[in-house]
Amino acid sequence: MEKPNFSGENKKLVKMYDVPGQDKISEHSFLRYLREKENFQEAIQKSALSSTIESPETIHLREIETNAGIARQHEFEKKAGGISIDDIPQFIRKGLLQNKNQPDNQKSYVESIGNARDEVRASLLLDAFDIENEEVELACVKAISNIPKKERTKLIRVGLSKESFRVKKASVAMIRYAPEELRAKMILLGLSDRNIELAKIYAKVIYCVQEEKDKRNLFEIAKQKLGNALVEPPLYDDADISDERFLRKDFVKTGSRVTLIGGELKDKVIFRHITPEAFRSWQEAYDNHDIWKRAGFDYVPIEPIVSFHQTKDGLVDVASGVLDISFGDWKKMSRDFSIELDKERSKIIRVLREAGITHGHAHEDNFCLRFFRKANGVVDYQKKPRIYLIDFDRAISPK
């Protein structure tokens, strides 16, 4: 392959792929990407493309969970048939005790607390919270929305007192069901939590505060207390991956499988494992810088592709650049830049549609922001961030 000339127009081209706060694209990495692209195109012509747009394992797991929930409800209705509303509390307490080693059955009783009279629901849920099982505790947190509003705050605090980070995180999300006059105080307290990742989740429920002035004050406090962490992505929130050593860890998401990387690559690169067909659509959107330039972008607003290779099982392992918080999460905390970013989001979808590329799930949480950093590495909250479309595991294109 002929070595590209990195002067003039080529320098402008490469600049479109630079990500604020990340290492600049070097001539070496640019050449490597071109080589990998050429090799991939040759390999893909020799193999049949898969039309799968979501891993069968993910679909199967979701179907199992959905069917299990339906089965639990049917089982409860069968057992509770003919029981008067006054006898439901005793029936639920008995069921929780008799099924102490069967958390799935216990969840069905927790999920049915909403069938009891309003005045006894809180005490039933407190009893259920005593069961030391993460899945049951999560079911308890979810059931808080069915409790009379005046009782919800104490139940949210019970959820926050649990050891499980997942349960704490779910409990913070339930603040939106607390009495309106208490929400701002609960969030303010949570922004000082020693667990930074939990404090970040408190920031993401600022949207449920009624007064705009209170929202603005809470957001300013969140910026002061959390700094860069406020907009760093939640990929590593409950993953035990450190900066000190190199580790790989898979985590479950809807669609493709994603591997997190530790060591020096933490916060810089993740690996996505997707079908060749989906990757070709992603690559087509990423490589075609001209369509973005014509649309008025001075950068390529597509999840950065660092490197890639096809695996023996027919998937493509893609190393992609880590960005910042999703646009959906940003809007939960602040309306800053939202109008401009919404326009750019719509433009990205339109440009892809005109190019014949269908993303598959281009909702706000699949648009990530990337904030500019000052010389000292601190996030510049005064400057409008860039917006990128990510997660092309369901993408299709006409080619």
What confidence score (pLDDT) does residue 197 get? 94
Q: Are residues 218 and 242 in the same domain?
A: no
372 and 262 within one domain: yes
Residue 359 within a domain: yes
**pLDDT tens per residue across span 43-76:** 444 443 333 333 444 434 444 455 555 555 555 5
Residue partners of 284: CB distance under 8 A and separation at least 6? 355, 357, 397, 399
At 391, give phi and psi (nearest 5°). 60, 75
Residue-wise pLDDT for 82-98, tens only, equals 678 999 999 999 999 99
Amino acid identity, position 288: N
Average pLDDT over residues 177-195: 97
Q: Assess whether 129 and 216 both reside in one domain.
A: yes
pLDDT digits (tens, 9 = 90+) for 310-357: 888 899 999 999 999 999 999 999 999 999 999 999 999 999 999 999
- Could you say which of 214, 234, 254 is where a domain stops? 234
Regarding whether 141 and 278 lie in a shared domain, the answer is: no
Task: Compute CA distances 21 → 31, 32, 302, 371, 379, whole Å.
Answer: 22, 22, 16, 8, 9
Q: Is residue 399 part of a domain?
A: no
Query: Within a domain: residue 54?
Result: no
Q: Specify whether 171 is located in the same domain as 319.
A: no
Mean pLDDT over residues 286-297, rounded?
96
pLDDT at residue 388 in the model: 98
Domain range for 203 is 67-234
Q: End-to-end distance of the chain based on CA atoms, in angstroms? A: 24
| Residue 52 in domain | no
pLDDT of residue 228: 97
The answer on 382 and 251 residing in a single domain is: yes
Integer CA distances (angstroms), 310 to 39, 272, 279, 319, 375, in order: 10, 12, 10, 12, 38
Give the rounded percent of residues in the chain with a pLDDT score beyond 70: 75
Predicted pLDDT at 44: 45
Q: Is 53 domain-assigned?
A: no
For residue 394, tell me if it sits in a domain. no
Domain count, the chain: 2
Tokens for 151?
């009782």
CATH of the domain at 202: 1.25.10.10
> Does 204 share its domain with 253?
no
Task: Determine which of 33-37, 113-117, 277-281, 344-348 has the lowest per-residue pLDDT on average.
Answer: 33-37
pTM for the predicted model, two decimal places: 0.81
Calculate the alpha carbon distances from 239 to 192, 247, 249 in Å.
Answer: 21, 11, 8
Sign of CA dihedral 59, 60, 65, 70: positive
How is 319-355 classified by DSSP, letter by letter? EEE----BHHHHHHH--TTHHHHHHHHHHHHHHHHHT
**For residue 55, is it within any domain?**
no
- 82 and 230 inside one domain: yes
Q: What is the mean pLDDT of the chain?
A: 84
103-123 confidence digits (pLDDT tens): 999 999 999 999 999 999 999
Residue 1 placed within a domain: no
Q: Looking at per-residue confidence, does 9 or 247 come out higher?
A: 9
Is the same domain home to 225 and 180? yes
pLDDT of residue 46: 45
Whether residues 245 and 384 share a domain: the answer is yes
From the list 20, 16, 15, 7, the residue with the least C-alpha distance to 370 is 20
